[in-house]
Amino acid sequence: MDLRLSPVSTSMPNRTGMVQRTPTTPTSEAKSAGFSSALKGALAEVSAAQNNATQLQNEVQMENPNVSLEETMVAIQKAQIGFQATLHVRNRMVQAYSDIMNMQV
């Protein structure tokens, strides 16, 4: 998964020598990309990695000489790591939701 974050502000010294933070103008990509779209993109990447690993497994089972066992094992490990990361994110989100719902107002 490749999630890149753009900087929110830059630091610029003012006349007194103190650093003053000024907001940067977000790019058009950052404007359209929110948390939900980043999450959807990450889920799509994990799904693609799992599909690729399954396809490579099938090719190895069919004894395709163009697909190596090493390549297949690496693809399987990448898919497992992506799935585990997704599972951890989901668990953290559920825990955060539970914590917020249990707060007294």
pLDDT digits (tens, 9 = 90+) for 84-102: 999 999 999 999 999 999 9
Calculate ∠ Cα 11-17-22, nearest 5°: 25
Strands (E), the chain: 9-13, 19-23
Q: How far apart are CA 36 and CA 13, in angstroms?
A: 35
Q: Which amino acid is at 22?
A: T
pLDDT band at residue 31 using 50, 70 and 90 as cut-offs: low
Quickly state the pLDDT bin for 35 (edges 50, 70, 90).
confident
